[in-house]
A and B are shown apart, each in its own frame.
Chain A
Amino acid sequence: RKEVEQDPGPFNVPEGATVAFNCTYSNSASQSFFWYRQDCRKEPKLLMSVYSSGNEDGRFTAQLNRASQYISLLIRDSKLSDSATYLCVVFGAGGYNKLIFGAGTRLAVHP
């Protein structure tokens, strides 16, 4: 089983749609959780951290369920510029001091 698993997609949605991505992790001792965004041929960039209480940043909402070892990202009112690959990232999974990336979920927003 992979340490961090994501649905690879792609998710093809129209502008204005709401889309949700899910991620599961295998190591219950994992410490921190993040969503990163990666554009084609670019380095990943932090979208948001994920807290147990859930957190929101504009159109983006992240949730963490430690009991189920599950992380989610909700994007509301999708924009064309949201098209990218979204990476679920877990710190501490699989060993000490490691950032482990999911395979990423590709999102394509169309007019």
Chain B
Amino acid sequence: GAVVSQHPSRVICKSGTSVKIECRSLDFQATTMFWYRQFPKQSLMLMATSNEGSKATYEQGVEKDKFLINHASLTLSTLTVTSAHPEDSSFYICSARTQGGGEAFFGQGTRLTVV
């Protein structure tokens, strides 16, 4: 099946620094990728929809200047958490759907800890 690779799987950073998370579709082209955040014992919350070649669409309440999304190619989307704070510590997961198919494939997730 289709594979989505996310990197890094785990990162610890100091408060105030920026962290970049990469999401790659390995064997298919993804014009759209999704970024989710999941706090402990809570559901995945959609943060934004990443569109190849255009601006991302952010969900209500998600700061676009804080969570920078770039989808420069059909196989790569990046999420940069800028000026990270401890409250940004969470599990970030990307997802992509194959063209014409219903299933969404997920990256392995990135556990971000801001200290």
Which residues of A approach B to under 8 Å, CB–CB?
32, 34, 41-46, 49, 87, 89, 91, 97-104
Contact = CB atoms under 8 A, between A and B. Distances in A.
A100 B46 contact: yes
A9 to B, nearest CB: 11
Contact of A32 (B32, B42, B93, B102): B102
A43 B102 contact: no
Interface string B62-94: 000000000000000000000000000001010
Interface residues of B, number: 22
Contacts of B95: 99
A43 B43 contact: no
A101 B43 CA distance: 7
B106 A87 contact: no
Interface of B: 32, 34, 36, 42-46, 49, 91, 93, 95, 97, 102-109, 111
A42 B104 CA distance: 15
Leading 8 A-B pairs by shortest Cβ distance: A103-B43, A43-B106, A32-B102, A101-B44, A43-B109, A46-B103, A101-B43, A99-B104
Nearest to B95: A99
Contacts of A103: 42-43
23 contacts: A42-B108, A43-B93, A43-B106, A43-B107, A44-B44, A45-B106, A46-B104, A49-B103, A87-B43, A89-B104, A91-B102, A91-B104, A97-B32, A97-B49, A98-B49, A99-B34, A99-B104, A100-B46, A101-B36, A101-B44, A101-B45, A103-B43, A104-B43
Nearest to B111: A41
A38 B44 CA distance: 10
